Amino acid sequence: MPTNNKPNRLIAGRSPHIFTHTPTTLWDWFPWGDEAFEKAKRENKPVLVSIGYSTCH
């Protein structure tokens, strides 16, 4: 699990779900696009996709 505490790339996004979780996430999220796929290919890692599903709990 990543351990950086810097805001991720989605902090400026428009998704209320992502915005809510941005300050607490440790993952280095990327928006859908070339940058994410280029990094995954360069590091030989899979791309995990989140659809931003949220429910009340």
Number of domains in the chain: 1
Structure-model confidence comparison of residues 54 and 48, the more confident one: 48
Separation CA 22–CA 24 (nearest Å): 6
Mean pLDDT rounded to a whole number for the chain: 74
Question: 6-25 pLDDT, tens per residue?
Answer: 666 777 777 776 666 666 66
Using only C-alpha atoms, the chain has a radius of gyration, in whole angstroms, of 12
Give me the domain span that covers residue 38: 1-57
For 16-45, letters b (16+ CB in 10 Å) and e give eebeebbeeeeeebbeeeeebeeeeeeeee
- pLDDT for 32 beyond 80: yes
pLDDT number for residue 39: 93
Separation CA 47–CA 37 (nearest Å): 7
